[in-house]
């Protein structure tokens, strides 16, 4: 496998696309571009059709995907506002099939998704979606039932062009739906860093309905949460006061639960009278829950732990990676630029990696895929 990237931080329209593609082409060393990803900030989207043509003229991709982005990352740098990045991979014996999905109205106010390619024997799906027109969470839930364990990795477009959201599908620019690629015969590892760390005791959900937790450990949920907070040390209580989250274990078949085993969700509402707590995802009786906190230190620790765990599993740096990081991270979360790009290089070395700042990130926890926030998800390609 050969992977190349090119990042142009300036907002120079078509020239930025052409230069980024040329740099990515050099990294391929003459190998064909089986899969190309293009991410461009809003300041470059006025010329997106000509920019896409410039990329295709240089790389002649077999499958291409991309979207408008608030900012981009690549070559060990992050440009939080602006720029263009192009990532290109030659997949050896593997192949990539691009797609464009659209929701289509069905009977009784239902929707079906048109354009879904064959997913039998797929190794992974990279997906980029319009946050306004596409029902990403219902689709992820359905695919989880139909294809359990299939990793879906990607993000929501975070910048708009003159006609709305910008999604790139081969040589076309579309404004609705979702685009991406299905990978066959390609080793892809999904890495998900939700930027949080667990605190306090583990508690089993003993009564729940939908996304409402009525009881934790056979006590009213709110009462038990307050008791758990009272048991924290001073530093943890201060973090909890700045934003308390709840982690729900997805895969219960483990002897003990680590950070990556929890799906982290916000507390949406509390009912003082009943003691019920509403969380940002569906829950069920029997799941294990634990309080979570998120800050720059916790997010840094979590990302580096995820990356080092992946490196230990690979035994060698990967050939490259696609990175989808939240537009709420960056300098705002960490206080300094280039955090996620630097952490990736600290773990893997100078591997060809590229991505963008998303309006929501897609990635698996356990064997199910979810839409996340304040998360960094990655598709890592072993060498």
pLDDT at 253: 76
Report the share of the chain in percent with pLDDT over 70: 100
Examine the domain organization and report whether 146 and 227 are in the same domain.
no
pLDDT at 343: 97
User: pLDDT-derived band of residue 156, with 50, 70 and 90 as boundaries?
Assistant: very high
If one compares 269 and 162, the residue with the highest pLDDT of the two is 269
Predicted confidence (pLDDT) per residue in 331-340, tens digit:
999 999 999 9
User: Of the residues 236, 269, 293, which one is the last residue of a structural domain?
Assistant: 293
If one compares 260 and 81, the residue with the highest pLDDT of the two is 81
Examine the domain organization and report whether 244 and 122 are in the same domain.
no
Predicted confidence (pLDDT) per residue in 232-243, tens digit:
999 889 888 888
Residue 41 has pLDDT above 70, yes or no: yes
pLDDT at 304: 97
User: pLDDT-derived band of residue 74, with 50, 70 and 90 as boundaries?
Assistant: very high
- Picking from 366, 351, 360, the residue whose alpha carbon sits closest to that of residue 307 is 351
- Total domain count for the chain? 2
Examine the domain organization and report whether 179 and 92 are in the same domain.
yes
Residue 316 has pLDDT above 80, yes or no: yes
User: Of the residues 293, 325, 356, which one is the last residue of a structural domain?
Assistant: 293
pLDDT at 376: 98
pLDDT, average across residues 206-234: 95
The Cα 20–Cα 27 span in angstroms is 11
Examine the domain organization and report whether 17 and 127 are in the same domain.
yes
Contacts with 17 (C-beta within 8 Å, 6 or more apart), sequence order: 8, 38, 40, 44, 47, 50, 51, 52, 54, 55, 84, 86
Examine the domain organization and report whether 10 and 130 are in the same domain.
yes
pLDDT at 110: 76
Examine the domain organization and report whether 45 and 174 are in the same domain.
yes
- Tell me how crowded residue 378 is: count the other CB atoms within 10 A of its CB: 28
The Cα 235–Cα 238 span in angstroms is 5
Examine the domain organization and report whether 41 and 58 are in the same domain.
yes
Examine the domain organization and report whether 64 and 155 are in the same domain.
yes
The Cα 203–Cα 144 span in angstroms is 26
pLDDT at 372: 97
The Cα 172–Cα 101 span in angstroms is 13
The Cα 189–Cα 192 span in angstroms is 10
Would you give the end-to-end CA distance of the chain in angstroms? 6
φ/ψ (deg, to 5) at 313: -70, -35
Using CB atoms within 10 Å of the CB of residue 90, give its burial: 0 to 12 exposed, 13 to 18 middle, 19+ buried. buried
pLDDT at 163: 83
Examine the domain organization and report whether 114 and 44 are in the same domain.
yes
Report the share of the chain in percent with pLDDT over 90: 89
CA 17 to chain centre: 24
pLDDT at 239: 86
pLDDT at 71: 96
User: Of the residues 277, 293, 309, which one is the last residue of a structural domain?
Assistant: 293
pLDDT at 109: 64
φ/ψ (deg, to 5) at 119: -110, 0
Examine the domain organization and report whether 271 and 183 are in the same domain.
no
- Picking from 204, 366, 201, the residue whose alpha carbon sits closest to that of residue 286 is 204
pLDDT at 258: 83
Residue 323 has pLDDT above 80, yes or no: yes
Query: Per residue, what are the HEC states of the chain?
Result: CEEEEEEECCCCCHHHHHHHHHHHHHHHCCCCCCEEEEEEEHHHHHHHHHHHHHHHHHHCCCCEEEEEECEEEECCEEECCECEEEEEEECCCCEEEEEEEEEEECHHHCEEEECCCCCCCCCEEEEEECCCCCCHHHHHHHHHHHCCCCCEEEEECCCEECCEECEEECCEEECCCEEEEEEECCCCEEEEECCCEEEEEEEEEEEEECCEEEEECCEEHHHHHHHHHHCCCHHHHHHHHCCEEEEEECCCCCCCCCHHHEEEEEEEEECCCCCCEEECCCCCCCCEEEEEECCHHHHHHHHHHHHHHHHHHHCCCCCEEEEEEECCCHHHHHCCCCHHHHHHHHHHCCCCEEEEEECCEEEEECCEEEEECCCEEEEEECC
Q: Note down the domain range covering 220.
A: 197-293
pLDDT, average across residues 95-108: 90
Examine the domain organization and report whether 287 and 206 are in the same domain.
yes
Examine the domain organization and report whether 284 and 362 are in the same domain.
no
pLDDT, average across residues 26-44: 96
Predicted confidence (pLDDT) per residue in 259-302, tens digit:
888 999 999 999 999 999 999 999 999 999 999 999 999 999 99
């Amino acid at each position: 496998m050969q992977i190349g990237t090119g990042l142009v931080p300036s907002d120079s329209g078509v020239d930025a696309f052409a230069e980024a593609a040329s740099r990515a082409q050099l990294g391929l060393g003459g190998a064909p571009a089986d899969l190309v990803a293009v991410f461009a900030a809003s300041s470059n989207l006025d010329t997106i059709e000509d920019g896409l043509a410039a990329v295709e003229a240089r790389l002649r991709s077999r499958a291409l995907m991309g979207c408008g982005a608030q900012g981009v990352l690549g070559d060990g740098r992050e440009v939080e506002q602006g720029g263009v990045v192009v990532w290109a991979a030659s997949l050896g014996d593997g192949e990539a099939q691009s797609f464009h999905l659209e929701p289509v109205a069905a009977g009784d106010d239902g929707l079906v998704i048109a354009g879904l390619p064959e997913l039998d024997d797929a190794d992974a799906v990279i997906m980029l979606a319009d946050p306004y027109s596409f029902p990403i969470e219902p689709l992820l839930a359905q695919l989880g039932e139909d294809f359990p364990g299939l990793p879906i990795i990607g993000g929501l477009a975070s910048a708009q062009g003159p006609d709305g959201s910008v999604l790139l599908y081969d040589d076309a620019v579309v404004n609705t739906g979702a685009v991406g690629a299905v990978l066959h015969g390609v080793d892809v590892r999904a890495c998900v860093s939700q930027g949080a760390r667990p605190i306090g005791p583990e508690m089993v959900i003993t009564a729940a309905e939908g996304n409402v937790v009525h009881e934790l450990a056979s006590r009213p949920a709110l009462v038990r949460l307050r008791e758990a907070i009272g048991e924290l040390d001073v530093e943890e209580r201060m973090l909890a006061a700045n934003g308390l989250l709840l982690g729900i274990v997805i895969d219960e078949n483990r002897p003990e639960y680590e950070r990556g085993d929890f799906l982290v969700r916000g507390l949406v509402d509390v009912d003082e009278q009943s003691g019920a707590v509403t969380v940002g995802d569906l829950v069920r009786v029997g799941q294990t829950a634990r309080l979570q906190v998120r800050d720059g230190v916790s997010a840094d620790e979590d990302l580096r732990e995820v990356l080092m765990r992946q490196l230990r599993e690979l035994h060698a740096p990967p050939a490259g990676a696609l990175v989808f990081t939240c537009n709420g991270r960056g300098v705002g979360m960490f206080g300094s630029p280039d955090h996620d790009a630097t952490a990736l290089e600290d773990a893997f070395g100078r591997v060809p990696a590229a991505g963008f700042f998303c309006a929501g990130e897609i990635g698996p926890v356990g064997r199910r895929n979810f839409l996340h926030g304040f998360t960094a998800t990655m598709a890592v390609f072993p060498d």
